[in-house]
Amino acid sequence: MSDTEIIEQLKQGNQLAFKKLVDTHQKLVVNTCYGLVQNREDAEDVAQEVFVEVYRNIEKFRSDSKLSTWLYRIAVNRSLNHIRDNKKHKWFQGFDDEEAAANKDLLRAKTADSDEPEYDLENKQRALILKEAINSLPKNQKVAFTLSKYEELSYHEIAEVMDLSVSSVESLLFRAKKGLQKKLYKCYKKKCM
């Protein structure tokens, strides 16, 4: 069933079309949400909200863009709303989760049978530092960077999702990369790892 057929059947209230929509696009939506909210359970919750919103607002879908573009846009907006609404709570919880994860990784690295447990721990520390650097980017830069690097969307697709021009997306990505370079270089100089 094509996206066009799914849309038409959804507009007629077909439940099987909704199931097909979720089955076809669930991974895309969850991964997009995860790239922004950085928590698998929250990403799955936000993805459910995305599909409910699509179901309720299918009549508003303009066929001048692809269904996936519309889904990306809703997923990004819902994820950003989730981050905004849970910022304080998540900051404290995130700190505790990161500390617990780091301690768990340290223990695992010490007891692992791996030839180089320090290497595994160092890679996890690098990933955590990169995640923190990405999360510290301004909202639009973070969204553009996440869609580009994690979702592998083209500049044109990102422009459609974010409702911007391609040159604006290029500028956002350039500034995001420069900002990450600066933050990560400072960390490297301070020997964060």
Tokens standing for residue 94: 């995130």
Output the CA–CA distances (angstroms, integers) from residue 135 to 10, 12, 92, 112, in the order listed: 36, 41, 15, 30
Inform me whether the pLDDT recorded for 115 exceeds 70. Answer: no
| 44-52: Cβ within 8 A, 24+ apart | 45/82, 46/75, 46/78, 46/79, 46/82, 47/75, 49/78, 50/74, 50/75, 50/78, 51/18, 51/21, 51/22, 51/26
- Count helices and strands in the chain by DSSP H and E runs: 9, 0
Banded pLDDT at 97 (limits 50, 70, 90)? low
Higher pLDDT, 120 or 175: 175
Higher pLDDT, 190 or 179: 179
Banded pLDDT at 2 (limits 50, 70, 90)? confident
Amino acid 28: pLDDT: 92
> Any idea which fold 136-193 has?
Arc Repressor Mutant, subunit A (1.10.10)
Banded pLDDT at 135 (limits 50, 70, 90)? confident
Span 45-61, average pLDDT: 93
Residue pair 166/174 in contact by the 8 Å Cβ criterion: no
Amino acid 112: pLDDT: 47
CA distance 16 to 10: 9
Positive or negative torsion for Cα 20, 7, 164, 138: negative
Banded pLDDT at 95 (limits 50, 70, 90)? very low
Inform me whether the pLDDT recorded for 111 exceeds 70. Answer: no
Tell which phi-psi region holds residue 152, choosing left (phi > 0), alpha (psi between -120 and 50) or beta.
left
Instruction: Say yes or no: domain 1-85 is CATH 3.30.365.10.
Output: no
Q: Domain-by-domain residue ranges, the chain? A: 1-85, 86-121, 136-193
Tokens standing for residue 8: 């038409």
Banded pLDDT at 63 (limits 50, 70, 90)? confident
Banded pLDDT at 186 (limits 50, 70, 90)? confident
Of 74-88, 145-159, 161-175, give the range with the top mean pLDDT. 161-175
